[in-house]
Amino acid sequence: MPDWLETALRASLAVVYLFFLAKMIGKRQVSQLTFFEYVVGITIGSLTAQAALVGGVDTLINSMVALLVFALFSLGSAYFSMKNKVFRNIFEGKSTVLVKDGKIMERNLKKERLTIDDLMEQLRMKNAFKLADVEFALMEPNGRVSVLKKTDKQPLNASQIGLDVRRESEPQVVVMDGEIMDEGLATIGFNRHWLHGELEKQGVTLENVFFAQVDSQGKLNLDLYDDKIQMAQPSNLKLTHATLKKCQADLELFALSTKNERMKQLYGEEAQRMQELLEEITPWLNPDAAKKMKKGLDALP
């Protein structure tokens, strides 16, 4: 067997083996890397490289055994940490209080070998530029710093001002790459008929839709393939135009019917302003009516 073929075979074997080991260890490795797991991860990588390239077949087998041991160790540490607090402290470490009651814990800083500059940098990254704003800061076992700001420096939320807010649950994607996602639709309690109806209401065909999302109020939000297409505004525009026109007419009517001179003048002025507003806004609300209006004006002698 030529050398290169052997390398190729060994490499493929190592990759597949590594894949299964990675699956076994799980995603914990990536999400919360403790120092120990970090080192284990690196070692596993280098062992795999060795299994693929270095030495003869016995090295291959030995590397694979070593790999397995490392993976099992990682798994075991995770398992025991889950079961027991003492193991957890050993394997994952403890958090360190860096700021308490707004005061820096110098001794703990020293213990973590953090300079005051490092601490301030971490605080700034958490948007606490002044030490005076910080009530409590903690270095987590993974090295990140969590910050609790003083109550009066925390961002305002709805419950603090007694504001009643609508509860919103997660939105659902109903169209992706132009294909209907039945699962999302079903989760939010709609079906394809509803979707087609909504699309029709907005004057869009399914083929044009790249992405669509429904929020918890049942409002459909679309993104079209062609970004130049302006989505048709609902006929509310015309309705509003009609309402405005009616109000203008009403005001004129009031001006005519009242006997009070002051009232007459006030209503008249308002009717006049409404008229100006209508002339300005009609092309936007109801282009057809605007054209007619213009024609009517032109037809006047």
Site membership for other proteins, residue 8 (CB under 8 A): no
Strands (E), 53-114: 96-100, 103-104
Site membership for other proteins, residue 222 (CB under 8 A): no
Residue 210 three-state SS: strand
We find the least distance from the C-beta atom of residue 63 to other proteins, in angstroms, to be 59
Site membership for other proteins, residue 120 (CB under 8 A): no
Query: CB of 277 within 8 A of CB of 243?
Result: no
How many Å apart are CA 251 and CA 268, to the nearest integer?
7
We find the least distance from the C-beta atom of residue 240 to other proteins, in angstroms, to be 4
Residue 136: count of CB within 10 angstroms of its CB = 15
Name which position in 32, 46, 84, 243 contacts other proteins (CB under 8 A). Answer: 243
Which residue lies nearer to other proteins by CB, 81 or 208?
208
How many Å apart are CA 132 and CA 151, to the nearest integer?
12
Site membership for other proteins, residue 210 (CB under 8 A): no
Nearest to 10 by CA among 41, 59, 51: 51
Q: What are the structure tokens assigned to 145, written together?
A: 């710093």
Question: Segment contacting other proteins (CB under 8 A): 77-85, 133-141, 190-198, 280-288?
Answer: 280-288
Site membership for other proteins, residue 229 (CB under 8 A): no
Site for other proteins in 250-279 (CB under 8 A): 250-251, 254, 257-258, 263, 266, 270, 273-274, 277
Q: What are the structure tokens assigned to 33, written together?
A: 């890397």
Q: Check residue 138 and report its DSSP letter.
A: E
Site membership for other proteins, residue 288 (CB under 8 A): no
User: Which residues are within 8 A (CB) of 165 and not within 5 positions of it... i.e. 6 or more apart?
Assistant: 158
We find the least distance from the C-beta atom of residue 251 to other proteins, in angstroms, to be 7
Name which position in 247, 289, 290, 293 contacts other proteins (CB under 8 A). Answer: 247
The number of residues that bind other proteins (CB under 8 A) is: 24
Site membership for other proteins, residue 89 (CB under 8 A): no
Question: Segment contacting other proteins (CB under 8 A): 17-25, 71-79, 136-144, 234-242?
Answer: 234-242
Which residue lies nearer to other proteins by CB, 15 or 263?
263
Site membership for other proteins, residue 280 (CB under 8 A): yes
CA dist 266 → 169, 262, 273, 275 (Å): 49, 6, 11, 14
CA dist 5 → 45, 51, 52, 136 (Å): 22, 15, 12, 60
Nearest to 105 by CA among 133, 129, 128, 139: 139
Question: Segment contacting other proteins (CB under 8 A): 155-163, 177-185, 210-218, 243-251?
Answer: 243-251
Site membership for other proteins, residue 290 (CB under 8 A): no
Residue 169: what residue type? Answer: S
Which residue lies nearer to other proteins by CB, 70 or 267?
267
Nearest to 17 by CA among 71, 54, 57: 71
How many Å apart are CA 177 and CA 28, to the nearest integer?
32
Site membership for other proteins, residue 246 (CB under 8 A): yes
Q: What are the structure tokens assigned to 176, written together?
A: 């992706």
We find the least distance from the C-beta atom of residue 243 to other proteins, in angstroms, to be 4
Which residues contact other proteins (rule: CB under 8 A)? 230, 233, 236-237, 239-240, 243-244, 246-247, 250-251, 254, 257-258, 263, 266, 270, 273-274, 277, 280-281, 284
